[in-house]
Amino acid sequence: MAVRPIIRFPDPRLRQVAQPIGDVTDEIRTLARDLTETMHAAPGIGITAPHVGILQRLVIIQLETDLDPHIYIDPEIVWASPDTIRHVEGSVSMPGVTDELERPSRVRVRYRSLDGSMHEEEAEGLMAVCLQHEIDQLDGIFWIDRLSKLKRDRLIKRFEKLQRIAVR
């Protein structure tokens, strides 16, 4: 297992659509382990292959209450509730800044696991938010794209300032 370098905003790969994985190979299983280790080191509760510059549809999520990470291969949202939830979001590719977004409070996701079998699961609350956030990333939608232009511009300026301070 290895911690891989995380690409940073505004890297254009963060806005590219990830490709389906298809067959689950040993290479994909290794990538899943590396992503898990990279997510823990960041630290974060969710990460995708595009966060490390690999444009494939692989998501890892591990909430504080989870003993093991959830691994989603080629995930897709097949249903979203009409009721919504507001939650503060951020990204391992844009550390140090967060903002509140509104998303459906429940979702149903279809995906494959590391053994290649198909699954469907429903999630609510924080897990639903994380799934939507990470699947957006796979679809080339960086989380700040869901903010108003004013909020997005302010957040980008704040991030750029943090980056300048970090370089000193």
Q: Which amino acids are annotated catalytic?
A: 134
Q: What does DSSP assign to residue 115?
A: T
CB 75 within 8 A of CB 110: yes
Residue 111, burial from CB neighbour count under 10 angstroms (0-12, 13-18, 19+): buried
CB 158 within 8 A of CB 165: no
Side-chain-facing half-sphere of 11: CA atoms under 13 Å: 17
Euclidean distance between CA atoms 71 and 121, whole angstroms: 12
| DSSP letters spanning 5-68 | PPP-TT-GGGGSPPBP--S--HHHHHHHHHHHHHHHHTT-SEEEGGGGT--B-EEEE--TT-SS
